[in-house]
Amino acid sequence: MGQLDGKIAWVTGAGSGIGEAAAIALAGEGAVLVLTGRRKEPLDDVAAKIKAAGGKAHVHPCDLTVSAEVDDAAEQIAKRLGRIDILVSNAGANIVDRHWNKISAEGIDTLINFNLSSAMYVARAVMGIMRAQGGGLMIHTASMAGRNTGGFSGPGYQAAKHGVVAMSHSINQEECINGIRSTALLPGEVNTPILKQRPNPLSPEELARMLQPEDTGEVIRWIACQPKHVCINEMWVTPAWNRSYVAAIQRKL
């Protein structure tokens, strides 16, 4: 018996990285997974892994930057499976030319649409469903860039992720009376495909020292398994070898 037997979990950005790891971890606790992202093929691969391990998974591709598609996806999931108990809102993106000396208007749109607008669309889409069923849990993958400025991620990504953190807290402030809980998850550097958008490539040694997707998947599983009276409002998860801290130490030496 898993702690999430019978629960319906919708994971966005589920085709790789943190989303894939979260989906596999939640399925391991007995949840029925709905996997969403732009491309069907990676979602099918994740669904196959879950099913091979004895779990249940459905694939529902959509463009999370289009509100009508998000609304339709939520409605179809609720119609097909009866409810949405857990939302893992994980979709996001970054760009190479991310700093003020290079960023374009199109780049700004990409960062806001993929990191903030999409998160708000998904939260809005499940809100009515969760209210009607008496509650639910949302877990939003933000970033340490959602609390700190400067460094590697760039101003647009930082601004969007600050918005995600604020959005998550506002859900608790307004929806706790409806049994809805929201967690802002703030990982440090995670070895995921988004790192390929870094202007400066990282070495295998640097990647190995970072959080791995399975680390964050396990944290998401733990949050999802907390009892209904417990709300994890915000959680920071970082690598022990934190490159920002290391850089600060080296400047002092």
Claim: this prediction has a pTM higher than 0.85: yes
Task: Give the tens place of pLDDT for each residue, 9-39.
Answer: 999 999 999 999 999 999 999 999 999 999 9
Say whether 245 is catalytic. no
Task: Kindly state the tokens that stand for 3.
Answer: 């702690």
For tokens 């732009």, the residue is 38
- Specify whether the CB–CB gap between 69 and 47 falls below 8 A: no
Task: Give the tens place of pLDDT for each residue, 43-87.
Answer: 999 999 999 999 999 999 999 999 999 999 999 999 999 999 999
Q: How confident is the model at residue 185 (pLDDT cuts 50, 70, 90)?
A: very high
For tokens 């409002």, the residue is 233
> In 3D, which of 95, 64, 89 has the Cα closest to residue 10?
89
Q: Where are the domains of the chain?
A: 8-252
For tokens 């030319």, the residue is 97
State the virtual CA torsion across 245, 160, 185, 98 in degrees, nearest 10: -40
Assign 3-state DSSP to the chain and report helix, strand, coil percentages, each to 5. Answer: 50, 15, 35
For tokens 């960023």, the residue is 103
- What percentage of the chain exceeds 70 in pLDDT? 98
**Of the residues 10, 114, 121, 157, which is catalytic?**
157
Q: Return the CATH fold of 8-252.
A: Rossmann fold (3.40.50)
Task: Give the tens place of pLDDT for each residue, 143-168.
Answer: 999 998 887 889 999 999 999 999 99
Residue type present at position 166: A
DSSP codes joined into one string, 143-197: -GGGT--SSSS-HHHHHHHHHHHHHHHHHHHHHGGGTEEEEEEEE--B-SGGGGG
